[in-house]
Amino acid sequence: MAKSLPPLTWFRAFEAAARNLSFTAAAEEIGLTQSAVSQQVKSLEVRLRVALFIRQARGLSLTDDGRRLLPQVAAALDALAAATDPFDVGTPENFLTVATSVSVAQWVIAPYLPHFTKRHPDIHLRILSATWPDDFHSAQADVEIRFGSQKHVGKNAELLTPSRLIALKSPTLHGNIENLPLIEAVGTSSGWKAWAETHGGGVHPEFFVDSYGMALNLAVQGNGVALVSELLADHALQKNQLIRAHSASIPGNEGYYLSADESSRPAVLFRDWLLERLSI
């Protein structure tokens, strides 16, 4: 059986940190947060069962094991780059790469996509699933739609609206929030607890999922009431797949932010089209 290797991202974080002797500088170089680089390096150290850095107040220094590993990792990364260079001929004209979460792709982009392809039949679209910062860095997309707070999504990113959280259920599910199962999307700072603090009532979710998109899927199938971004729910409401379980809403501390490469004609056209569709 082939030996299982640590993830490539751990090696990339280690190499950048070793070359810069700084987690912060490495993070800026490879497009991650400082804490993500530090955690990936720590994970590699645990996996290899050695310390690779001496962490000091003024920066990093390599241990003997770190100095021994660095040239081998650097050589391996260089070899991978050389192996892929012949295939990298640049982005074809009118080829557009959009990086976003599965939730946005499914509930926001896909329902309206025929309208975009009809308007711009010359643009070839590729949609990549991306959730974490490293996903977006690897995608090198022309358009990015990230979920988070304003300080985490990068410069020149535009908040997509509506961005409040609303309670939704299937039209076939009878009852109100107080006596129906609740579906909680974990990993966000606004949820059913924040709803109860604003509108009252008990908070006892029965289902926990890792995205608003999955919460919507469960709600459409009649499993309970989902508290999700109004942005994602708009098309499902229009098609009567879901209805409001309550007329109120609460603010979302996080939202979906769009950024586009201004030098790319397809990226600008896609951004303008999506903003137009969302405003209708």
Closest by CA position to 210, among listed 231, 228, 235: 228
Please state, in angstroms and rounded to a whole number, the distance separating the CA atoms of residues 98 and 82: 26
pLDDT tens-place values along the chain, 280 residues long = 457 889 898 999 999 999 999 998 888 888 777 888 899 999 999 999 999 999 988 889 999 999 999 999 999 999 988 887 776 545 567 889 999 999 999 999 999 999 999 999 999 999 999 887 767 776 689 999 999 887 777 667 899 999 899 999 999 999 988 899 999 998 787 899 999 999 877 678 999 998 999 999 999 999 999 999 999 999 999 999 999 999 999 998 889 999 999 999 999 999 999 999 998 7
Distance in angstroms (rounded) separating the CA atoms of residues 179 and 30? 48
E strand map for 101-201 = 124-129, 143-148, 158-159, 165-169, 182-185
**How far is the C-alpha of 41 from the C-alpha of 30, rounded, in Å?**
13
Domains annotated on the chain, with CATH: 8-87 (1.10.10.10), 95-161+256-279 (3.40.190.10), 165-251 (3.40.190.10)
Token pair 């609206």 is found at 161
Residues ≥6 apart with Cβ < 8 Å to 203: 182, 192, 193, 195, 196
| pLDDT score, position 1 | 47
Give the whole-angstrom CA distance, residue 277 versus residue 280.
Answer: 5
Q: Is 272 helix (H, G, I), strand (E, B) or coil?
A: helix
Q: What is the pLDDT of residue 88?
A: 59
